[in-house]
Structure 1
Amino acid sequence: MMWCFLWLLSLGPPVAPALGMNRVAARVCYRWQASNFSGLFQDGDVIIGGLFSLYSKPPSLNQDFTQQPLYQSCSSLEALPLQYVYAMLFALEEINHSTTLLPGVRLGFHLHDSCALPLWALHAVLSLVGGNSSTCNPEYSYEDGEENSKSQILSRLLGPLSVPLMSYTASSPSLSDRTQFPNFFRTMPSDIYQARAIARLTIRFKWTWIGAVVANNDYGLMAVKEETQGAGVCLAFVETLSRQNIVSDARRAAQAIQSSAAKVILIFTWYTDVRELFLQLVERNVTDRQFLASEAWSTSGVLLQNPSTSKVAKGVLGVAIRSSTLPGFEKYLRKLKPSLHPHNEFLREYWENIFQCRETTPDNDSSSSESPLPFCSGTESLETVNDIFTDMSQLRVTYNVYQAVYAVAHALHSLLSCPDISSSPANKNFNCSVPKQIKPIEVLQHLNTVNFTTTQGELFYFEGADVPAKYDLVNWQMTPEGELKLVRIGLVDGYDLKLDETAIQWRTGFRQVPMSVCSESCPAGTRMATRKGEPVCCFDCIPCAEGEFSNRTGSHSCEPCRYDYWSNAKKTACLPRHLDFLSYNETLGITLTVVSVSGVTVTTAVFVVFLHYRQTPMVRANNSELSFLLLVSLKLCFLCSLVFIGRPSAWSCRFQQAAFGISFVLSVSCLKVKTIVVLAAFRSAHPGAEALMRWFGPGQQRGSICLFTSIQIVICIIWLTVSPPVPKPDFELPGLKVTLRCAMASAVGFSLVLGYIGLLACSCLILAFLARKLPDNFNEAKLITFSMLIFCAVWVAFIPAYVSSPGKYAVAVEIFAILASSYGLLLCIFAPKCFIILLRPENNTKKHMMAR
């Protein structure tokens, strides 16, 4: 008889009835014998081994090294793993009664409890691989392993023997590596899928600040890795739980949950650990946390039915192994009785736990006879029991066990089936196997290619070591009766996640998604700035700079606006920039216009006065022709300032600079010629200097003014022809308003215009300064000197003010300089004369003018 062993190890909540099979001590070879190492078995043509974690409390170990280690019995039988056991036995019974699957071949089994300890699992495997129950001859086995660490250990142990190993709960992603574990298979998807599904849930609900309580192994730490890889998800804390120190670890984790600001807690560990953690949270009255559950506890009936759990676990959102149905399985379980299977200790212990009575045993089992429980009446039946063992609503891991058995059966069927040689000439060299000739490597090869349709109508096959990943998304919801129930709200198919958000009941009992963030999401118009030394989920919200915007919440950076757009006041959008210029409608424009018109008016009034009193000595003594020409040029200076106000255009940009440059050159030229006339007049009084005035008579004076003015005209013509100023928006300046100004395409031309005016003004100032002390009672050179000082001061101050003024204010500065210098010339030159003409007419005589 060939042995095949299917070892089943559980990550999920344990359960426990047992099939009525003989309880035997495993007959193993040499030192693998253990006094308390018991199990169930049934003979068959092919034996399938199974390993289950039926007990949750491991024995205390004596570590004083004074005696040889002894395998003490585990305690606290769990009901759910016992359901897994009977799922295996139910599947074997179906297969043995099938006329199409393995006809003529009877499958047997040999089952052991591993007590969730790797050492026990290793012991059981070695006992089975080492030899059968009667001969101790070496045999090979097919194993169905449990848990990640045990599966890795057993796979490495059985790998050199090419003995296939199948698990229904081992989910570590590392087990998918066929180079390390070529003999490993599983009906449980890799944890990578559920971890990424949970990570996507945290991102979907914008939980950026969560806590994590995980198993202290690859199972839990892998989940932490996947969470931290999620975009924008940070872990407020990570607490690990170890089975050996579960009470102290759970106490520490509960304290971390209570003190943390994280409102969403990821728990990635076994349901027995979660049970202890929830008890600790109940003691601390921590009832305001939203829990994310891994498949290891998301469907735990033990937790759902625990009254204490409902205080802290309402609204749990989790990933669960896909649920399915097993027709006939419930009827099979409810017919179980210890009296029909007197040697089945597992079923007998479960029976005692449920009915609080003990069955009599044929061999007067000492443990039974010492029990304080009364004898059962014989009327007890599982037909009336509703607990985890008989619950058919959540057949998840149970269905994985069922599929594992069928996968083995189909691989054996493929191996033991002989093709019709007459119809398949290509298979003439095919060697048919019989049960006693099965080699482990043959089973391994056929498992790799197994492909069949389950009794539920689903296609089953392996992708390497794995089956296609499918999960349910579940939610723990409170019923009106105050009990927790499990509700399916979505599914995971590979990396695809489908979720009905409207069906979720959160911990608050309402449909509003709870928040769990380290920092509130930054509103539009701001950006996130991480705090030094803190996770990226903890940040401050910094307003966007001028000219930048962010139009969504939680923006990591602000986007710059286009050059012709500018950010609004809230920095949430970019608006088209408005053209701005010095207009006649605004206060500054109106003020400058009034001042300019006032200057024109005053100049006109002076002109009229001089025209009316043109025959008086005061007017005639100061060269009336030059005075009238100066008044005209000053009027042009006042008027040219008006060209600078209003929307700039191509012609206005050209005209304003030309008018400004020419009118001021004309004014300064008149003053310069007047100063030269004064100097020449006094020099001509000296002997031998009579000819000086003949050489600088009225004709020469007019010619000099024309010459000085013509030079400026030529400069303006060249400048405005070659590179004239053009109206251009100044986008370099910040703000929603863009100044439309006359941009100087050539700074050289503008500099020459200003420089030439400055040259004439400086030379005029020097000449007037030299003539300031001439012995006239009314010496006009003094007035010219003072006027030119004001003129030069204004334009020297103009340069830095013009350069530093933003936008339209630069234009206002230039207008102000024009008006200030024009008023300076007008008042300094003509105010004293008008005072004498109008208010001191007695001084307006030739005698008074010639007096020294």
Structure 2
Amino acid sequence: MGILALFTVLGLGLLEVKSILVRTNSAGLPDKCSLQGTARLPAFSVEGDYVIGGVFSIHNSMNTMENNYTTAPESPSCSGRIDPREVRFARAMIFAIEEINNSTELLPDVRLGYQIHDSCASVPVAVHAAFQLSNGQDPVFYGGENCSQSGVVMAVVAESGSTPSISISRIIGSFNIPQVSHYATCACLSDKKQYPTFFRTIPSDQFQADALAKLVKHFGWTWIGAVRSDSDYGNNGMAAFLEVAVREGICVEYSEAFYRTNPRSKIQRVADIIRRSTATVVVAFAAIGEMKILLEELSRDPSPPRQWIGSEAWFTDTDMLSFTSCAGAIGVAIQQSVIPGFRNFLLDLSPSEVAASPVLTEFWEDAFNCTLRKSGDTQKRMCNGQEDIKTLENPYTETSQLRITNMVYKAVYAVAHAIQTARFQKTNFNADKSIRLESEEVLTELKKINFSQNGYHVSFDANGDPVAFYELVNWQKNERGALEPVTVGFYDASLPEGQKFNINRNITWVEGSLEVPVSVCSESCPPGTRKVLQKGKPICCYDCIPCPEGEISNMTDSPDCFLCPREFWPNAEKDACFPKPVEFLSYDEVLGIILEVFSISGACLAIITAVIFFHHRTTPIVRANNSELSFLLLFSLILCFLCSLTFIGAPSEWSCMLRHTAFGITFVLCISCILGKTIVVLMAFKATLPGSNAMKWFGPPQQRMTVMFLTLIQVIICVIWLVVSPPFPVKNLSTYKEKIILECALGSAVGFWAVLGYIGLLAVFCFVLAVLARKLPDNFNEAKMITFSMLIFCAVWITFIPAYVSSPGKFTVAVEIFAILASSFGLILCIFAPKCFIILLRPEKNTKKYLMNKN
């Protein structure tokens, strides 16, 4: 039976069926196997005991074929220029195989061969090469019961592109032929269900995407542009990058895909988008061919400075360093390496050796612009044999920073180690070279290899991927003004999170700047503000809104503001919380000092009045107005003036209890004395009536008892208040948001209003009695003065209630002190000022005759 009965058209043109094997004889019956079509000659080949296949994109394009479906299509052929870098890759494979053949440790007594094909950087040719590596090159052969030539090659080192590698893997994977790629980085190839025989020595783009995203995040770029190759490499790589970028909070202004074969109008459109964009950073996940075309288009009409971030596919290619507009670019690259003896091998090319190889001939002619073959082309001179490849400066001879070349070198050694282990498993190192190995056996051992070559470790994980390690490379100008890649850091996926990404050298940015360029959609929101997304735009585009009152944000680009703790308040910048200032009526502030002065002045006035009364205690005006109650009243007024001082200062547990109880008791004592004096006036008038003995019922003992009884009631009320729910100091956080009011809570509001109510009740009762006695027929009737004093007293405390309830903070205390002082001054001035006036200024009226004179 034949190896293949079906071929796939991969969307890139009709693939000619070349490799169907059939078995026929003259009678039309199966007899022998023959290869249909013409075998494609490899670019380089050597026979050996075990053959390793190779596929490289030596030419950069394929001839376009037009099929008429009436004749057999021609074999696909390459066109365009030879890629010197790919030639170096192919030569690296040859160098590694020759080095192994000369080794006495790895595969001794066994000679490896190779078949290296040119894929023309196209899928159809790559598929054709895959078929041929699977079938072999013999036009006719007999294979017994089975025509299959699977296993002609032990493994295939291929390919430089992800898309051709995918096509090759799908074909040779059907026959368990392992494929080891040196440059196919698409993360999709890690899927072992689809590509079970695929391995690679270069890391997957999944790691590269993570490295690029961390690079962008590290420098604070949140607004970027993105371009990519419209291929499996570019599309899958960019998809992986964007997935990580979203998690890192990076926004993409545009994401454009293009391919080298697109019309120029498409390339111009991508270039115009880059020119017009506001993002100064551009991430390019592209192959070399696409980047060359794009940068050439941009150089025709230079765009504003752009900071390029490059993927490893193009970033270390020496041809790209000619684009000086990309100075300062930074990207990831495969680790630099050294392959001893490789440079001498590359330069050891004589004209005769070159002439024996069509590929090397074309490379030589292209490099030296001469021809080794006689032809009608008169534009090129004949090579004279004086051409020296050692003087050549192109990617073929550039070995100062071997990166991908080392991946080829490691791939060949990986296959060789797998072959050696497979032979050991099968022959225990029997020297019999005829022992046949199946590619499936090599595949099994390839999964388990673990070795080091030239100091570089080689192993594969379950997905066929190596440990990811990248260098971070910066394009810097050297002393000659030319660009050169300089390693400035690394990304090591084997390290713990947070240590994978490291910058250890100064970076030169776009236009030679030493400052990190800025690429954001919106400037960072400073502390004290929060981000508010702009409608219809990505999350990186926002406005900065100041935090509301009482809230802060203490970091840049804060998404939210948060409330300060209850006893804290934001500073003016709203970026930190500070303890709220504590406010209370203090002794050293203006309002407190004014109230203190009035309080002490009132007390002094009462003392002076008492002194005057004591000095003139024998005079009629003092004796006529119940001197005992007058002195007691003056004493209570002194206490009333002084008790206002207890309301000033920081409230404490004792001061809160003292201020309210002292106020309540002293004022009741004061009103009780006035009430006693009012009753004495009424009783004195009654006593003057014939047959009245009223005064004997309200003499001095009864007066003292009345004052003591009425005061005792207030004392009891205060004691109950203090026992049940006394006043206590409290921090008032609700009146003002920005400060704390330290005040005395009432404890029991019922107790407070009971104290006030009792004072008010006595004052009203006293006022009523004074009104009744105001027109008694004495020349100096004290009841009139009591009436005025009680009128002032009641007016003050009636207006006190709404003022007390509505006054905020320390002004509540000030209102209470003002009411105490105002009512105290009203009492002392109305009751005692007229008497002092007569005593001091009108002594002629301070006589019994004058006082007894009727109106």
Q: In structure 2, do the counterparts of structure 1 residues 722 and 342 end up closer, same or farther at CA, with 3 Å as the change threshold?
A: same
Kindly tell me: are residues 765 and 499 of structure 1, through their superposed partners in 2, closer, same or farther at Cα, counting changes over 3 Å? same
Aligned residue for 2:210?
196
Deviates more, 1:625-634 or 1:480-489: 625-634
Which of 367, 381, 393 aligns to 1:386? It is: 393
For the 8 Å contact 1:292–1:318, the answer to whether it is kept is: yes
Q: Distance in 1 between matches of 2:829 and 2:489?
A: 91
Instruction: Indicate how the Cα distance of structure 1 residues 797 and 483 shifts in structure 2: closer, same or farther if over 3 A, else same.
Output: farther
Name the counterpart of 1:459: 457
SS at structure 1 position matched to 2:103: coil
The counterpart of 2:343, out of the listed 330, 345, 355, is 330
Within 2, Cα distance between the matches of 1:763 and 1:91?
121
1:795 and 2:800 are equivalent in the alignment: no
Equivalence for 1:597: 600
- Match of 1:53, as an amino acid? S
**1:113 — aligned with what?**
118
RMSD across aligned C-alpha pairs, in angstroms?
4.1
C-alpha distance in 1 between matches for 2:290 and 2:427: 55
Deviation (angstroms), 1:709: 0.8
Partner residue, 1:411 = 418
> Could you give the per-residue CA deviations for residues 411-466 of structure 1, whole angstroms, max 9, x where no partner exists?
12222236787xxxxxxxx9999667432321211111223331x13332222201
* 8 A contact 2:332–2:471 mirrored in 1: yes
Counterpart of 1:291 (choices 298, 308, 318) is: 308
Separation in structure 1 between the aligned mates of residue 218 and residue 355 of structure 2, nearest angstrom: 54
Displacement of 1:295 in angstroms is: 0.7
Pairing partner for 1:218 from 236, 242, 245: 236
- Within 5 Å, give how 1:454-533 maps onto structure 2: 454=453, 456-464=454-462, 465-496=464-495, 497=500, 499-524=502-527, 528=531, 530-531=533-534, 533=536
Measure how far apart 1:155 and its partner are.
3.0
Closer, same or farther in 2 for the Cα pair 1:794/1:289, shift >3 Å?
A: farther
| 8 Å CA contact 1:212, 1:224 repeated in 2 | no
Q: Is structure 2 residue 166 aligned with structure 1 residue 149?
A: no
1:166 CA displacement: 1.8
Q: For the structure 1 residues 758 and 134, does the alpha-carbon distance in structure 2 shift closer, same or farther, using more than 3 Å as the test?
A: farther
Alignment length, in residue pairs?
A: 808
- Aligned mates of 1:624, 1:62 — CA distance in 2: 137
Tell me how far 1:293 sits from its aligned partner.
Answer: 1.4
CA shift for structure 1 position 81 = 1.4
More moved, 574-583 vs 88-97: 574-583
Contact conserved, 1:575 with 1:736, CA < 8 A, in 2?
no
User: For residue 711 of structure 2, what is the aligned residue in structure 1?
Assistant: 709
Name the amino acid aligned to 1:245: N
Matched AA of 2:364:
W
Q: Does 1:301 align with 2:304?
A: no
Q: Secondary structure at the match of 2:149?
A: coil
Measured in 1, the distance between the counterparts of 2:39 and 2:431 equals 41
Judge conservation of contact 1:263–1:289 (CA < 8 Å) in 2: yes
Deviations 1:523-577 (A, max 9, x none): 4555555555544444455556677666655555567666666655555555566
Q: Do structure 1's residue 665 and structure 2's residue 668 form an aligned pair? A: yes
Determine the C-alpha separation between the residues in 2 that align with 1:319 and 1:802: 74
Q: Once the 2 structures are TM-superposed, how far is the Cα of residue 185 of structure 1 from its aligned partner?
A: 0.6
Judge conservation of contact 1:358–1:375 (CA < 8 Å) in 2: yes
**Amino acid aligned to 1:645:** I
Q: Name which of 39, 45, 49 aligns with 1:45.
A: 49
1:257 aligns with 274
Cα–Cα, structure 1 residues 759 and 139, in superposed 2: closer, same or farther, change >3 Å? farther
SS in 2 for 1:320: strand
With over 3 angstroms needed to count, the CA separation of the structure-2 counterparts of 1:459 and 1:666, relative to structure 1, is: same
Partner of 1:180: 194
Q: Which residue identity does 2:149 align to in structure 1? A: E
SS in 2 for 1:143: strand
- Residue from 262, 273, 276 that aligns with 1:245: 262
Residue 275 to residue 764, structure 1, CA distance change in 2 (3 Å): farther
Q: Secondary structure at the match of 2:382?
A: coil
Structure 2 CA distance for aligned equivalents of residues 325 and 793 of structure 1: 104
Q: Partner of 1:347 in structure 2? A: 360
TM-score by length of 1: 0.83
- Give 3-state SS (helix, strand or coil) of 1:163's partner: coil
Q: 2:371 aligns to what?
A: 358
Give the letter aligned to residue 512 of structure 1.
Answer: E
1:605-636 superposed Cα distances (whole Å, 9 cap, x missing partner): 44455556767776666655544433332222
TM superposition shift of 1:222: 1.1
Q: CA deviation at 1:391?
A: 0.8
CA shift in 2, pair 1:661/1:356, >3 Å: same
Separation in 1 of the partners of 2:372 and 2:113?
27
Partner secondary structure for residue 308 of structure 2: strand
- Among 149, 156, 162, the alignment partner of 1:139 is 149
Secondary structure of 2:371's aligned partner: coil
Q: Is the 8 A contact 2:184 2:202 kept in 1?
A: yes
Pick from 4, 19, 28 the counterpart of residue 28 of structure 1. 19
Retained in 1: the 8 A contact 2:571–2:577? yes
Deviations 1:284-342 (A, max 9, x none): 433532222111112011111x2xx11x2111111101121222222222233564344
Structure 2 counterpart of 1:509, which letter? G
Contact in 2 for aligned 1:33/1:127 (Cα 8 Å): no
Q: Contact (CA 8 Å) 1:502, 1:511: kept in 2 or not? A: no
Deviates more, 1:763-772 or 1:183-192: 763-772
Residue in structure 1 matched with residue 752 of structure 2 by the alignment = 750
Amino acid in the other structure paired with 2:423: L
Residue 635 of structure 2 aligns with which residue? 632
Q: 1:97 matched to which residue of 2? A: 102
**1:130 Cα deviation (Å)?**
4.7
Q: Structure 1 residues 616 and 375, CA, compared in 2 at 3 Å: closer, same or farther?
A: same
- What runs of 5+ residues in structure 2 fail to find an aligned partner? 4-15, 23-34, 142-146
The Cα shift of 1:597 comes to 1.8
Cα-to-partner distance string for 1:771-822 (whole Å, 9 max, x where unaligned): 6777888776665555445434443444554455555444333222221222
Q: Once the 2 structures are TM-superposed, how far is the Cα of residue 478 of structure 1 from its aligned partner? A: 0.6
Aligned to 1:587: 590
Match of 1:9 in 2: none
Other structure's SS at 2:517 match: coil
Distance 1:66 1:718 in 2: 120
Give the whole-Å Cα distance in 2 for the aligned partners of 1:788 and 1:64: 126
CA contact (8 A) 2:131 2:172 kept: no
| 1:754 match: secondary structure | helix
Measured at CA, do residues 676 and 134 of structure 1 come closer, stay the same or move farther in structure 2, by a change above 3 Å? farther
Letter in 2 for 1:377: N
Matching of residue 75 in structure 1 with residue 83 in structure 2:
no
Give deviations 1:752-786, integer Å, cap 9, x for gaps: 32332233334444555666777888776665555
Q: Is the 8 A contact 1:159 1:183 kept in 2?
A: yes
Task: Map 1:313-324; keep pairs closer than 5 Å.
Answer: 313-324=326-337
- Please tell me the residue identity of whatever aligns with 2:236: D
**Separation in 2, partners of 1:836, 1:34:** 146
Contact 2:43 2:118 in 1 (8 A): no
Q: Which has the higher contact order (CA 8 A, sep 6+)?
A: 1
Structure-2 residue corresponding to 1:123: 128
Aligned to 2:645: 642
- Farther-moved stretch of structure 1 (606-615 vs 329-338): 606-615
CA contact (8 A) 1:622 1:780 kept: yes
Give, in angstroms, the shift of residue 485 of structure 1: 0.9
- Letter of the structure 1 residue corresponding to residue 821 of structure 2: L
Instruction: Give the drift of 1:403.
Output: 1.4
| 1:399 maps onto 2:406 in alignment | yes
